[in-house]
A and B are shown apart, each in its own frame.
Chain A
Amino acid sequence: MANFDLTQKYEFSSSAKRWSIIMILLGVATVAFGLMSGNADRTFANLLLNSYYMTGICVAGLFFIAVQFVANAGWSTSLIRVPSAFSTVLPWAGLILVAVVGAGLATGHLYQNWANPALTDHNSPEFSELIKGKSGYLNTPFFMIRIVGFLLVWSLFMRVLRKYTLNEDLVGGLLNYNKSIKISAIFLVVFGFTSAIFAFDVIMSLEAKWFSTMFAWYNFAALWVCGLATMALTIILLKEKGYFGWVNESHMHDLGKFIFAFSIFWTYVWFSQFLLIYYANLPEESVYFQERWSDHYFIWFCLNIAINFVAPVLILMSRDSKRNFKMMKIVTILILCGHWLDYYMMIMPGTMGEKSGFGIIEIGTTVGFIGTFAYLMLNSLSKEPLVPKNHPFLNESLHHEI
């Protein structure tokens, strides 16, 4: 076995910095253009999509770390600093999400299916008994409190776990590891409930009259697959640049299995939601798929399943492709695009209806968010060594072979 430089640190190169800043500027320019050119609704829908996507990836990083601690997993130790870097971006991603949601509510461009005061005003012609009945839960102050609260709580868990892993680098021993397990277990319980309500609030309430309990798991599956795919892609790209020499095919195999399994889990939940609504055929439920079955969306509806289910199943089923870095790179990019489309299918019919499209605003905003995530994440990654050198399972991970 080759000797690896375990003190290796990621150096945030000036070209990576330059490119991510260019992407951020492109994103800011697109958003400004979108708001100026009378496409405010569409711009806000895109901002919501991307900030929700980014928050999901960051919190998936935290979730990954917590799962590894609670499962006493050893294989992932040598690459755990990547999800750890994702999780440090969580407060920033949360800040952007809260800003987008807050601005959207304040300017009346988001959540108009329940936040519009006319809907709960008895004297208004638009008054809706249904929305009035939900207004004890779906009202702007409580809504903002929940979203800010969840993001704050998750960020606090991130800070504590991050503190433990950095402290472990300094003092060694098992103390920080044991404390991490405890805090991870608490986080998983908290996250299990809060992530469900978070998905109901941020996305499902866009179509306030519609409801599905499956939606929580559907969104969790999406954010988890996206997080895993981003992790794998980040590691592959960094490995191409000469970092992570110790990450071998077996690590990639495990990540590939995760991505494969949770792509199927995503489909399972997606289909469970779909089948029950299709079968029961209740008008207040089936309206959701009626919208997505229209001529305007149907092709994207089908493409969503093709990219996020058929492609990972067929490509990642074989062991060889999971162990092939080039193949994994293609698949993870495909899945990340696919889940962008999945979020698009969740958000656009409820906000833009038949007027949604795919153009400069969609591309520009996404590019801006990719740049933001890359900049913040790589900046955080460059601060600490790439390996937690005192982690008790480090040796197991370096010798990982399956």
Chain B
Amino acid sequence: MSKVKYILGHFDDPDVMMSGIDQLQKSNIAIEDVFTPFPIHGIENKLGVKRSRLPIAAFCFGLLGTITAFTMVYYMLVIDWPMNIGGKPAFAFPDFIPVMFELTVLFAAYGMVFTFFYVNHLFPGRAPRVMDLRATNDRFVIAIDASLNDINSVDAVLKEAGAIEIKHNERKYISYDEE
């Protein structure tokens, strides 16, 4: 049993890499993920990446903000300390709306950011986990799970597709600290 966990095919050209994805898919090799220094048009569709569910989180956080604001203002102005402002009833709903609007935006924005950090394991003190450091610089990297595929045939397809370097990693992630 080989200790290789992941095969990384390095490309130095995005178009060559895109056709490499085609060839891998044609050979029925499952692609784990692709890492590129910049976004590439149409790559999500090609890899079948599902749309992010971040908007759903944003909606839920926004709703939470609306409810929080309403509850807070209602408690303050109606239950705890009713005041006569311009002869309006204590529960003057139009006055509530700006606060509800602002807290909706605040909760949605922060909620989205923190959800994004959580999903991507980005929080203070945590070294970022990457599969290959050069994918953030000048290489386009296709990662393939070695346990699901035959290593030799993957290597052959990658080489034929124009990979300039093929790495066999025994660990999934490397960290910035190690290099």
| A positions within 8 Å CB-CB of B | 271, 274-275, 278-281, 317, 319, 401
B125 contacts A by Cβ under 8 Å: no
Q: Which of A279, A281, A401 contacts B41 (CB 8 A)?
A: A401
Please, how many residues of chain B have a CB less than 8 angstroms from a CB on the other chain?
A: 12
A275 and B98 contacting across the interface, CB-CB below 8 Å: yes
Give the residue name and chain of the B residue nearest to A268 (CB). Answer: B101
Is A401 a contact of B94 with CB atoms below 8 Å? no
Query: Contacts A401-B41, A401-B42: A279 and B98 contacting too (C-beta < 8 A)?
Result: no
In the bound complex, CA of A319 to CA of B87 (Å): 44
- B41 A275 Cβ-Cβ under 8 A: no
Q: Any chain A CB within 8 A of the CB of B86?
A: yes
In the complex, B97 has a CB within 8 A of chain A: yes
Q: Does B178 make an interface contact (CB < 8 A)?
A: no
Q: Which residue of B42, B55, B59, B86 is within 8 Å of A281 (Cβ)?
A: B86
A279 touches B95 (CB 8 A): yes
CA distance A69 to B46 in the complex (A): 33
4 more A-B residue pairs beyond the given contacts A271-B97, A281-B87, with a C-beta to C-beta distance below 8 A: A275-B95, A278-B94, A279-B86, A279-B94
A397 to B97, CA, bound (A): 40
Cα(A275)–Cα(B88), bound, Å: 13
- 17 residue pairs of the A-B complex, CB under 8 angstroms, read A271-B94, A271-B97, A274-B94, A275-B94, A275-B95, A275-B97, A278-B94, A279-B86, A279-B95, A280-B86, A281-B86, A281-B87, A281-B88, A317-B59, A319-B51, A319-B55, A401-B42
Q: How far is the CA of A279 from the CA of B88 in the complex (A)?
A: 9
Shortest Cβ distance from residue B161 to the other chain A in the assembled complex, whole angstroms: 24
1/0 contact trace for B83-109 toward A, CB 8 Å?
Answer: 000111000001101100000000000
Shortest C-beta distance, A225 to chain B (Å), equals: 19
**A contact residues around B88 at 8 Å (CB):** 281
Contacts of A279 in B (CB 8 A): 86, 94-95
> What distance in Å separates the Cβ of A398 from its nearest Cβ neighbour in chain B?
14
Return chain A residues, CB-CB under 8 Å to B59.
Answer: 317
B95 contacts across to A, CB distance below 8 A: 275, 279
Least distance between B25 CB and chain A CB atoms (Å): 20
Least CB distance, B59 to chain A, in whole angstroms: 8
CB distance from A1 to the nearest CB of B (A): 12
Contacts of A280 in B (CB 8 A): 86
Which residues on the B side are within 8 Å of A278 (C-beta)?
A: 94
Chain B, Cβ-Cβ closest to A317: B59
Q: Which single residue of chain A is at the shortest CB-CB distance from B51?
A: A319
For residue B95, give the distance in angstroms from its CB to the closest CB of chain A: 7
Docked Cα-Cα span, A271 to B97, in Å, equals 9
Closest 3 CB pairs of A and B: A281-B86, A278-B94, A275-B94
Within 8 A of A (CB), among B75-133: 86-88, 94-95, 97-98
* Nearest CB of chain B from residue A203's CB, rounded to whole Å: 23
Among B41, B87, B94, B97, residue most surrounded by chain A Cβ atoms (within 10 Å):
B94
A275 contact set on B, CB distance < 8 A: 94-95, 97-98
User: CB-CB < 8 A to A401: which residues of B?
Assistant: 41-42
Q: Return chain B residues, CB-CB under 8 Å to A271.
A: 94, 97
